[in-house]
Amino acid sequence: MKALLLLSQVVLFAVCSGCVSFEKSYPDRHYFVLEVRADADPLDPTTDEILQVSNMRVSPRYEDKSFVYRTSDTSYEADFYNQFLVSPASLITEEVRKGLTAARVFKYVISPSSDLPPAYVLIGTVNALYGDFRNTNAPMAVLEIEFFLTSELPAKPGIVMQKRYAKSQPLNGRSPEALVKGWDEALEAILTSLIADLKAAKL
């Protein structure tokens, strides 16, 4: 009798399993990275010194991996389903190092983990990183970074340069893909300006 009861339960479960859908009723998460085009024409370095690019800091408002959208003058939203693959601090730090390495302003561009002694240290803070959707007809990718360049040279220690770069890049749509492309273009524009200022600085 127990065997018969157990068999009927198994059959009932099998029948019910065929009737129940286990498909997800929620959207998938999507992950993105930032990527800036590198200079394809390597040049001789402007200086023979070593630059250390410190790990970027990001404002607590934007340091999480979830995308942030500004929807009004006072309200912001975090997007749980569209995120950076890793922290935005890590992504932007990597792109800044790559861009400065390709630009050849310095002989070497290193990270804080390197054993090489740097002559200069670049410190950056991301003050803004969001999609501006306040105007539905003119969405923007907003990026603002403040950089400090300090000298580690005994002959001239201290802050050599300080500048804030802000870019609002128009988007060709309101999709996450369009926003990431806008951030890429904004970061590329900021790096172009930073490189020009570093070349013009008296190092």
Q: In tens digits, what is the pLDDT along the chain, a chain of 203 residues?
A: 444 444 444 444 443 444 444 455 567 899 999 999 876 566 677 788 999 999 999 999 999 999 999 999 999 999 999 999 999 999 999 999 999 999 999 999 999 999 999 999 999 999 999 999 999 899 999 999 999 999 999 888 999 999 999 999 999 999 999 999 999 999 999 999 999 999 998 77
Query: CB–CB of 203/48 below 8 Å?
Result: no
pTM metric for this prediction: 0.84
DSSP 87: -
- The domain that contains 61 carries what CATH number? 3.40.50.10610
Expressed as residue numbers, the domain containing 84 is: 2-200
The Cβ of residue 93 has, within 10 Å, a number of other Cβ atoms equal to 20
Query: CB–CB of 131/88 below 8 Å?
Result: no
C-alpha span between 173 and 151 (Å, rounded): 43
Amino acid in position 88: P
Q: Indicate the number of domains in the chain.
A: 1
